[in-house]
Amino acid sequence: MKMNKNILYLGLVSFFTDFASAMINPILPVFVVYYLKEGVDKLGVIVAVATFVSYSLRLLSGYVSDRYGIVKPLVVAGYALSAFSKPLIGFSKGYASVAFLRAVERLGKALRSAPKDYLIAYFGDKKRMGKTFGFHKTLDIAGEFSGTLFLFLTLYLVGQSEEIVRGIFFATLFPSLVALLIVSFFVEDVKKKEKREKFAVSKEDKRVIKNLFFYFFFLFFFFNEAFFTMQAKEVGIGIAFIPLLFMLSTFVQTLTSYYSGMLIDKIGVEKTLLISYGFGVFAEALLLFKTPWATWLSYAFLGLFTVFSLNANRAYIAKDSKNVASVYGVFYAGVAVFGALGAFVIGLLWDKAGMENAVAFSLAGILCVFFLFLLRGGFVFENS
């Protein structure tokens, strides 16, 4: 399948950005809990704040793209914010500064997410949206894998001291700047159009948004990656080997992303989402065994859930929405709000009632959503 050059460039931008993110994401929970001596409840606050703070801008950036035709400037600004906020975490002395800087980094993601997906949908083939987003996600995940490999090699070969971890945060500036240069000088903007005097949410948009709530509620109950990391530490997996768990997850995503796109185009969004929710349930259920081998397998299913669900939802919005950028904004806002609330609740529950009860609560919730989707999904996805 021939890809538009802009989609290739956007894929490279995501590759280098996710390379930088993967250098710190696996180690950040450990940095907060073990190096900064904060509790798991504080980790939950960091995850919640960093996710929730981007709520309004995720909606706003999509709306601005649709109403005023401002697309690429938002994408560039978003990548710039992320590029310069990640390294500053290396100076943090407590959870409050980490939460603030993660919030700034998430603001950058909020600014760019909906307009970036709009660019992909704009330059992509409408008949092959599943493959288009699958291809982009493949480069995205390859960046995660490469960044995580860099992190593992650094921790394993150089050391795991606090100074080295802080140095890794500082080093994220370099791949982030490469991504910023590519998006600034190589990615084209959409063709300018006149400002729309009237903006209305269409019935197609409303139906798509209604269907997205299954995913939102699933994410509310589903473990954030930070809690998967803490569970791995609890069952005895060493700090240096935690990045390998993320590598396993991203490797699985890299192998299956394009296939998931083909599957979306072949069997539809509804069935692909049902499969992805099944993967999520398996990922959580394996944590009940509380053994290293089960956690390793859990990360593989986490990767399958992540890539199948994201590609399906993004392709669905591109194909069935009228105000595409705005609906992407709603999608990312929903992910932010429900993910933030869920992280806060699970972090608090973990701190007060222990890991086992947190896992049980999470698993019970996602099982309920899975069965609701199984019973009702076929009646709502009319055009998928």
pLDDT of residue 54: 62
pLDDT of residue 4: 81
Q: Which two tokens stand for residue 252?
A: 């699985």
> Hunting for tokens 């009646």 — which residue is that?
379
Residue 261 and residue 310 in contact, taking contact as beta carbons nearer than 8 Å: no
- Chain mean pLDDT for the chain: 87
Asked if pLDDT for residue 127 goes beyond 90, the answer is no
Asked if pLDDT for residue 96 goes beyond 70, the answer is yes
Percent of the chain residues past pLDDT 90, beyond the cut? 47
Asked if pLDDT for residue 1 goes beyond 50, the answer is yes
Asked if pLDDT for residue 329 goes beyond 70, the answer is yes
Average pLDDT estimate for 361-379:
85
**CA angle in degrees (0–180, nearest 5) for 19-23-27:** 150
How far is it, in rounded angstroms, from Cα 109 to Cα 79? 7
pLDDT of residue 160: 87
Residue 58 and residue 332 in contact, taking contact as beta carbons nearer than 8 Å: yes
Percent of the chain residues past pLDDT 70, beyond the cut? 93
Task: Give the CA count within 13 Å in the CB-facing half-sphere of 78.
Answer: 27
Contacts of 167 (CB under 8 A, 6+ apart): 90
Say which range, 8-12, 71-75, 188-192, has the weakest mean pLDDT.
188-192
Average pLDDT estimate for 193-202:
56
Asked if pLDDT for residue 184 goes beyond 90, the answer is yes
pLDDT of residue 11: 92
pLDDT of residue 257: 83
Q: Render pLDDT for 205-241 as a digit per residue (tens, 0 to 9).
A: 888 888 899 999 999 999 988 889 889 989 999 888 9
Q: Annotate 221-256 with b (16+ C-beta within 10 A) or e (fewer).
A: bbbbbbbbbbbbbbbebebbebbbbbbbbbbbbbeb
What are the boundaries of each domain within the chain?
Answer: 5-184+202-379
Q: How many CB atoms lie within 10 A of CB 24?
A: 22
pLDDT of residue 135: 85
pLDDT of residue 201: 67
pLDDT band of residue 251 (cuts 50, 70, 90) is confident
Average pLDDT estimate for 287-307:
95
pLDDT of residue 217: 95
Q: Render pLDDT for 21-66 as a digit per residue (tens, 0 to 9).
A: 999 988 998 899 889 988 888 888 888 887 776 655 667 787 788 7
pLDDT of residue 381: 53
Q: Render pLDDT for 267-290 as a digit per residue (tens, 0 to 9).
A: 888 899 999 999 999 999 999 999
Task: Reply yes or no on domain 5-184+202-379 having CATH 1.20.1250.20.
Answer: yes
